[in-house]
Amino acid sequence: MATITYPDGTSLTSTAIDERQAQSMMQLVTGRMLGVLMTPYSAAALATLPPALSAVEAATLAAPWQTTLTLTAGQSSAPAASTALLYPNQTAVGTGLQAGTRVTAVGPGNLVWLSLPATVSGPQTATFADPDCFSAVRVGWQQEGQPAWNIAADICVVRCEPIDTDYGRMRDSVQSLQGITAVFTDTYTRAWRVYWAFYGPNSTDRARAVRSALVTIQQFADLLATAGWYVNPSISMPQRVPELFQGQWWPRTDLYADFNEQVTETYATGTVEQVQVIVNRATGVYETLTIQGD
């Protein structure tokens, strides 16, 4: 929530989020819709989210991703209690796992293959993280670029822009008095358009997955609602638009969706507490009146 204080002491407080917060939020949500392990979410990343969502992430969803591996000393494979959200190149930390251990493959069945052999035998809790999660799902127009990806990598780039709509011009204004402060509360809807550019051999299917998740999976609607965002379910089909780069056609599929953000702005300004009135009568008698504000 942003507050602007003016030279006369009045202030304007708004729940509107800025472009950076919008893109960080959609980066997080998009990653989860694609099955990318976006937790634990770092403190630096939390600070870029809308405040309400950041508080929720810090309290609940930012917990490390853990499962139980049944290790055998000297072996690089182990059955897992759950392989959900496990995929190659994740780091694995826990008792019996050597420093620098990564996941090299998942399956068949519930087997997890590790880059280094285990040092102990028995069930152990392992913590997994994806150091490349913010490379797999990127935000557009970054001030500092990231290394480019190869033609076979599945990469998503997301960007957010406010758009002009007739509905966004409608206002619901209420005035109230709090002591000697006049408060004007203005509620309206701001529209955003979110663009996704999916690259890689699975770009079309990943675009389909995001489109479906936006309109059918409630957990993502709840996550966005935390920041006051609500999707317009009328979403166009993804468009396949291969991109020519250095003599090669790179697989690319584009998708966009519109969202409504509920914004409340409060303008607070001081009122007159009392007014002194001096009356000069024709008889020459002066009279002083004090009018007290409610």
If you write DSSP's letter for every residue of 213-248 in order, what string do you get? HHHH-HHHHHHHHTTTEEE-S--PPPEE--EEETTE
pTM: 0.82
Structure tokens at 225: 């609602």
Helix (H, G, I), strand (E, B) or coil at 184: strand
Q: What is the pLDDT of residue 222?
A: 94
Radius of gyration of the chain (CA): 28
Q: Per-residue pLDDT averaged across 180-203, rounded?
A: 91
pLDDT in tens, 127-138: 999 988 888 999
Task: State pLDDT tens for residues 6-47.
Answer: 887 788 888 899 999 999 999 999 999 999 998 767 788 888
CA dist 91 and 230 (Å) reads 34
Q: Which residues contact 77 (CB under 8 A, 6 or more apart)?
A: 111, 112, 113, 114
Does domain 2-38+134-270 sit in CATH 3.30.70?
Answer: no
Query: Please, are residues 170 and 283 in contact by the beta-carbon 8 Å criterion?
Result: no
Domain boundaries, the chain: 2-38+134-270, 65-129
* Structure confidence at residue 166 as a pLDDT band (50, 70, 90): confident
| Structure tokens that stand for 81 in this block | 């209690």
Q: What is the mean pLDDT of residues 102-108?
A: 95
Supply the mean pLDDT for the chain: 88
**Which residue from 75, 160, 83 is spatially nearest to 118, judged by alpha carbons?**
75
**Residues 197-248: tens digit of each pLDDT:** 999 999 999 999 999 999 999 999 999 999 999 999 999 999 999 999 989 9
